[in-house]
Amino acid sequence: MTPHGVAIPPQSKYQIPSHYIENESRPGSYGVVSEVEKFVEKLRIDPATPPGKKGPNYSHYHLNNKGTHYSPRPGDSNPGFGITK
């Protein structure tokens, strides 16, 4: 479960990497600080989009600041975001 109430599966492919920090300006956004001291989003975990709004009505995640929606739902694209060995 993220601090913002989004449940995530317990498998290692869904563990937020320990070297990621949470973006103070955007809940659910995690990433790293670049060499020029700029936050670089690597992962964003979003709750379901409210009915009537554009976006999926189920929890989902984004990788590398892109707009693609990923989800562990059956049939959805789901590369995971944790570090797997």
Are the beta carbons of 44 and 61 closer than 8 angstroms? yes
Give the pLDDT of residue 85: 43
- CA proximity to 44, closest of 33, 58, 57, 59: 59
Give the pLDDT of residue 2: 72
- CA proximity to 8, closest of 61, 49, 57: 61
| pLDDT tens per residue, range 11-40 | 888 899 999 999 999 999 999 999 999 999
Give the pLDDT of residue 1: 67
Mean pLDDT (the chain) is 89
| Percent of residues, the chain, with pLDDT higher than 90 | 62
pTM above 0.85, yes or no: no
- In this prediction, residues 53-67 reach a mean pLDDT of 91
- Residues 53, 35: Cα–Cα separation, whole Å: 37
